[in-house]
Amino acid sequence: MKKFIQKCALAVLLLILVNVIAFFVLMAVNPMLKKVQESANFKNQKFDLLVFGNSMTVDGIDCDYLSKKGINSYNLATNGSHMCSSLLQLKAYLKNNAKPKIVIIGLPSATGKSLLNPVPYPNPLVDFFYEPNLKNCVLNPPPVNLRWLYVESLKIVVSKAHRESKIVRGQWKSPKVIADETSFQNKKTEFYYDNADFQEFISICKNEGIQVIPIEMPGSNANRNSLPYNYPIELADQSQLKLYNLNNYEVSSQFIDPKNDWLAPDHLNQKGGAKLTAFVYENILKPQIAEHD
């Protein structure tokens, strides 16, 4: 029995040791982890525009393009995020940096409630870097809690498209191309704009004098709708906020090429992201900046 217990203990110790080493390797090689780490450490930044959301927004909003157009911007969206994590990121950013003029929230209703799910599910990666604490690290050890990143890192080894992808100003720029073979079905979309974290997010921005632009991100053909290009959403203080519905089939079909602009279902590749961002710049940001000036 003693020998058995000794061997089990040895196995556990070995595992912990290798885990710690592997975690440091991950920190060195995983681009998404490096992005969140970098953004959590932002100090005295003066971005004009920040972008929040989940993976559809990580891939879809090209802040490099916007910066070249004179809008100094950064895409803070993170894969698989819920609005509660975006809220955490916003608060941390405002605490340590100059407030931005504009905030874009990429809403992914095309694919379901995810970001605005009534039940919040914090992104472990955001939690780890934005709110590090010992209790959390013990209960949810980072190597285990961030395990999906190892699968993502392995994809870099097995897939050329992953190797050629990079993070630029927070956007995941991927050259990978898959065709969207689905067809428009005028999907009935359910919205969750009354989500408490979403409402608090907007309320903070309003109080800070930051302009909020919510955008419904375009999904694959089958997940798009025919709702108006823009419509008002109700806020907790009874006021309204204009939302831009780029998931409207006719609008998004003007700039998205179903054959060349996707890297995965509902996720734009770098070409698609550039086209979407150009559309946002020309039709939403430029008029508003001109009006403001």
Partner 1 sequence: MLFNSYPFFVFFAVVFGLYWWVFNKNVKAQNFVVLAASYFFYAWADWRFSFLLLGVTILNYFLGIYINRSEKPMTRKILLNIGLLQGIGGLAFFKYYNFFVTSIADAFALIGVQVSLQTLNIIVPLGISFFTFRTLSYLLDVEKGKVKPITDWISFFTYVSFFPSLLSGPIDKARTFIPQLEKLRVFNYDMAADGSRQILWGFFKKIVVANNIAPLTNEIFTNYQTLPASSLWLGAVLYAFQIYADFSGYSDMAIGFSKLLGFNITKNFDNPFFAQSIPEYWRKWHISLTAWLTEYVFTPLSITFRDYDKLGLILAIVGNFVIVGIWHGANWTYVFFGLFHGLYFIPSILNGTMNKKIKTDKTKLWPTLTESFNMARTFFVIMLTFVIFKADSMAHAFGYYKHMVSTSIFSIPVIDFASVAIVLLFSLLMFGTEWKHRYQDHGLVLSEPMDLKRWGFYLLLMLSLLFFGAFGENQFIYFQF
Binding site for partner 1 (CB under 8 A): 1, 3-4, 7-8, 11, 14-15, 18-19, 22, 143-144, 147, 150-151, 154-155, 158-159, 162, 178, 181-182, 264
The distance of closest approach from Cβ of residue 44 to partner 1 in the complex, given in angstroms and rounded to an integer, is 36
Token readout for 61 is 């909003």
- 220 vs 225, beta carbon nearer partner 1: 220
Q: Is 4 exposed, middle or buried (0-12, 13-18, 19+ CB in 10 A)?
A: exposed
* Nearer CB in complex with partner 1: 220/245: 220
Q: 94 or 222: whose CB is closer to partner 1?
A: 222
Q: Closest separation between CB of residue 186 and partner 1, Å?
A: 16
Identify residue 161 by its one-letter amino acid code.
Answer: A
Q: Rank residues 155 and 286 by Cβ distance to partner 1 and give the closer one.
A: 155
Q: What HEC string does 203-238 produce? A: HHHHHHCCEEEEEECCCCHHHCECCCCEEEEECCCC
CB–CB of 79/55 below 8 Å? Answer: yes
Determine contact, residues 187/224, Cβ cutoff 8 Å: yes
Nearest residue to 103 (alpha-carbon basis) of 59, 67, 53: 53
- Find the shortest distance in angstroms from Cβ 23 to partner 1: 10
Are the CB atoms for 134 and 41 separated by under 8 Å? no
Q: How far is the CB of 147 from partner 1 (least distance, A)?
A: 6
Q: For partner 1, which is the closer residue by CB, 23 or 65? A: 23
Shortest distance in whole angstroms from residue 12 CB to partner 1: 9
Tokens standing for residue 139: 């209960």
Of the pair 2, 292, the CB lying nearest partner 1 is at: 2
Q: Least distance (Å) from partner 1 to the CB of residue 222?
A: 8
Q: Token pair for residue 108?
A: 């992914």
